[in-house]
Chains A and B, each alone.
Chain A
Amino acid sequence: MSAGPPQNRGLTAIDGAMVLIVVLLIVQIWLLSATLESYLAGHPEAAAPGAIISGLLFLACLGLYFFVDRIDSEVRKG
């Protein structure tokens, strides 16, 4: 089974990373709404874990962005 030309492999990696970012973003949106609901219900103790997890998710997104950036540059260079 052939892996295909480098450009196609690069695109597959980029598409995979983008899908992963979208999934992480959906989780982060849910986390924000859940934390806000909890805070408005008079439970501010959920704010700190929510912010920490959201920060980790952002770092993961940032890492994936740099991954996409690097792969894209490599593929364009050929």
Chain B
Amino acid sequence: MKLLRRRSSAPLWQDEFPVFTADERYVSRRQFTKFLTLTSFAMLAGNLWILARSWFRRAPVYPRRAVATLDEIAVGGVKIFAYPGAEDSCILVRTGQASYAAYSQKCTHLSCAVYYSRGQNRLECPCHQGFFSIADGAVLQGPPQRPLPRVRLEQRDGSLVAVGMEGEGA
């Protein structure tokens, strides 16, 4: 911290722990500016951390797993299943006779469980009224900034098979 320390004849301990009580609460403009600059460095460190994570990120490998049979749920019906891990709750919605959509059930705002609103034909988070499109998981309204991660589905031998996730970060 020698670089950011002001040129002063007083030793460092006297700057940090002043002798007079009144000086303890006094923050000079220079000290405040130093604090702001260090905060700026913390923001840079955060950005560098994200950059390092993105560089050393491994492509995730998703298992193939049958999550439902084709006629298991009625049109407008819902099934909850776990994918890709046992703790990763997802929601499968039958949106038409032959169309299905599946998303992570975790709201991208604060991770509350979203549910399907059949009347509004959208996914809704009850915690902070975040609404997501059933077509692509995009945010329709509310505090979430990111769309819901989508589960890629394939139809095989009368079953719906989950084969991966889209839009999922680290």
Whether A42 and B51, one on each chain, are in contact in the complex, defined by CB atoms closer than 8 angstroms, is no
Is A3 an interface position by the 8 A CB rule? no
With a 10 A CB-CB cut-off, give which of B29, B53, B168 has the most chain A CB atoms. Answer: B29
Kindly list chain A residues whose C-beta atoms are within 8 Å of the C-beta of B108. 40-41
Interface size on A, residues (CB 8 A): 38
B142-167 residues with Cβ-Cβ distance < 8 A to A are 145-147, 149, 166-167
Residue of B nearest to A43 (CB): B169
Whether B37 and A32, one on each chain, are in contact in the complex, defined by CB atoms closer than 8 angstroms, is no
Is B86 an interface position by the 8 A CB rule? no
A48-71 residues with Cβ-Cβ distance < 8 A to B are 48, 50-51, 54-55, 57-58, 61-62, 64-65, 68-69
In angstroms, Cα B54 to Cα A1, docked, is 56
Kindly list chain B residues whose C-beta atoms are within 8 Å of the C-beta of A18. 29, 32-33, 36
Partner of A72, one of B29, B145, B166, B169: B29
Determine the main DSSP class of B at the interface with A. Answer: helix
Determine the main DSSP class of A at the interface with B. Answer: helix
Interface size on B, residues (CB 8 A): 35
Whether B167 and A58, one on each chain, are in contact in the complex, defined by CB atoms closer than 8 angstroms, is no
Whether B7 and A48, one on each chain, are in contact in the complex, defined by CB atoms closer than 8 angstroms, is no
Whether A57 and B169, one on each chain, are in contact in the complex, defined by CB atoms closer than 8 angstroms, is no
Whether A41 and B50, one on each chain, are in contact in the complex, defined by CB atoms closer than 8 angstroms, is no
Kindly list chain B residues whose C-beta atoms are within 8 Å of the C-beta of A57. 40, 43-44
Kindly list chain B residues whose C-beta atoms are within 8 Å of the C-beta of A31. 43, 47
Subset of 11 A-B contacts with CB under 8 Å: A22-B36, A31-B43, A37-B145, A37-B146, A42-B166, A47-B50, A51-B48, A51-B51, A57-B40, A61-B37, A65-B4
